Amino acid sequence: MLPANIEIRDYLAGLIKQSRLKQNERLPSERELVEQFKSTRITVRDALSKLESEGLIYRSNRRGWFVSPARLEYDPSSRVNFYLLAEQQQRTPATELISKKRIKGPLAARTALAVAADEKLIELVRLRSLDGRPVLYEFIYLPESRFPELMKKNLEGSLTTLMQRDYNVEITHEDNRICVSAVYDQVADALAHINGAPCLEIRRIRYEGERKAVEFDIEYWVHSAIELRIPSH
Q: What is the dihedral of CA 130, 105, 118, 214, to 10 degrees?
A: -30
Largest alpha-carbon pair distance within the chain? 65
Q: Which one of a second copy, DNA, none is in contact with 31 (Cβ closer than 5 to 8 A by kind)?
A: DNA
Binding status of residue 50 toward a second copy by CB under 8 A? yes
Contact call for residues 52 and 59 (beta carbons, < 8 A): yes
Q: Of 66 and 83, which CB lies nearer to DNA in the complex structure? A: 66
Pairwise CA distance, residues 102 & 9, whole Å: 47
Residues 168-227 that bind DNA (CB under 7 A): 194-195
Question: Which whole-number Å values give the CA distances from 2 to 7, 10, 56, 175, in the listed order?
Answer: 6, 10, 20, 44
Q: Which one of DNA, a second copy, none is in contact with 144 (Cβ closer than 5 to 8 A by kind)?
A: none
Q: Which one of DNA, a second copy, none is in contact with 230 (Cβ closer than 5 to 8 A by kind)?
A: a second copy
Q: Which one of a second copy, DNA, none is in contact with 54 (Cβ closer than 5 to 8 A by kind)?
A: a second copy
Contact call for residues 198 and 182 (beta carbons, < 8 A): yes
* Three-state DSSP state, 43: helix
Interacting span for a second copy (CB under 8 A) from 41-49, 83-91, 102-110, 132-140: 41-49
Q: Are strands 212-222 and 121-130 parallel, antiparallel or unpaired?
A: unpaired
Q: Which helix (H) or strand (E) holds 144?
A: none
Binding status of residue 229 toward a second copy by CB under 8 A? yes
* Three-state DSSP state, 233: coil
Of the candidate residues 20, 31, 165, 177, the single one contacting a second copy (CB under 8 A): 177
Of the candidate residues 15, 25, 54, 59, the single one contacting DNA (CB under 7 A): 59
Nearest to 229 by CA among 178, 157, 169, 183: 178
Q: Please tell me the number of Cα atoms within 13 Å of 13 on its side-chain side.
A: 16
Rounded to a whole number of angstroms, the minimum distance from the CB of residue 136 to DNA is 19
Of the candidate residues 84, 182, 192, 212, the single one contacting a second copy (CB under 8 A): 182
* Positions in the binding site for a second copy (CB under 8 A): 3, 5-6, 9, 42, 46, 49-50, 53-55, 71, 76-77, 172-182, 184, 195-200, 223-224, 226-233
Q: Which residues bind DNA (CB under 7 A)?
A: 3-5, 27, 29-32, 38-43, 45-46, 59, 61-65, 194-195
